[in-house]
Structure 1
């Protein structure tokens, strides 16, 4: 009886793993890389905000993604600081409706020229807003995420909040790839 029970447990565990993998948004092979920032490494001042007491270049980093799911019809990109002392993190960049044929962005990319929608960052300005953690607050993580989407256009306008955009992306993404860099002052 014990043998049968253990065998059933093994089958249940295997089935759970297979089901979890098939519903995961972290697509096998989907990858986000950059020539400007590296996983777990501190970003250069080039990517620091210009304002709020910071005086960096306020440029978005170069980003490249590969091996997106086959059914991808558009992309979204976000940059988020979960360590901001706000209770809700800090949205540095939210853009969607990036055409499916786009697989890289140059440093300081203008996403609106690609036909993408860029939202107002938590700084109150449209588009990318660089790192600017409070002085002495320690190292902050900056999570750059590319989202593969099954639609050409999200039914959201440029006035929607970053939280609503994040909710929408989480609810419908068919794949994600993330690159987390750090910064402190």
Structure 2
């Protein structure tokens, strides 16, 4: 009897609960999960010869309450003890759901210096003979971050993670 009551309650709760929101998803016509990055997304310098262009990134299923977005590209395999930041952008306006590859970010967006020491996207360039992962992530944030372009990637990362409503990642690879 108790089992039937529990099953009935679960069924009733399922029938009256709202439909789940669309899943927050990152996609790209230029990069794919687990696939080798093309030369377009490879750094020009440090012994690498690429076009150093950011890929097009598109996201959908934006969670309710989103106020801005952050986009990061991070290499956890860099032999630094702390990984390598290839790109960190935040305060991307809430109405934006695509960053066309190689184009300037929308007005109001803030980009930090990458670990190459330049502002903006810095392509893949692992040491010769090593395969590295490149995590392209978009975060839906519940606020605009009260930071400027002088903060460290670590501080911005802390604030993004503290205010992230959802995130989605494509992990591509590269070796030379």
TM category, shorter: 0.7 to 0.9
1:120 to 113, 118, 123: 113
TM-fit CA distance, 1:54: 1.0
> Where do 5+ consecutive residues of structure 1 fail to align?
1-6, 8-26
TM-score, structure 2 as length reference: 0.86
1:80 to 74, 86, 98: 74
Q: In the alignment, is residue 129 of structure 1 matched against residue 122 of structure 2?
A: yes
In 2, Cα distance between equivalents of 1:167 and 1:104: 24
1:101 to 91, 95, 103: 95
SS at match of 1:174: strand
Q: CA-to-partner distance for each residue in 1:152-178, whole Å, 9 max, x for gaps?
A: x21111010001111111111111111
Q: In the alignment, is residue 145 of structure 1 matched against residue 137 of structure 2?
A: yes
Give 1:46's aligned residue: 40
Segments of 4+ moved more than 3 angstroms: none
TM-score, structure 1 as length reference: 0.82
Aligned length: 157
Name whichever structure is richer in helix by fraction: 1
Give 1:62's aligned residue: 56
SS at match of 1:114: coil
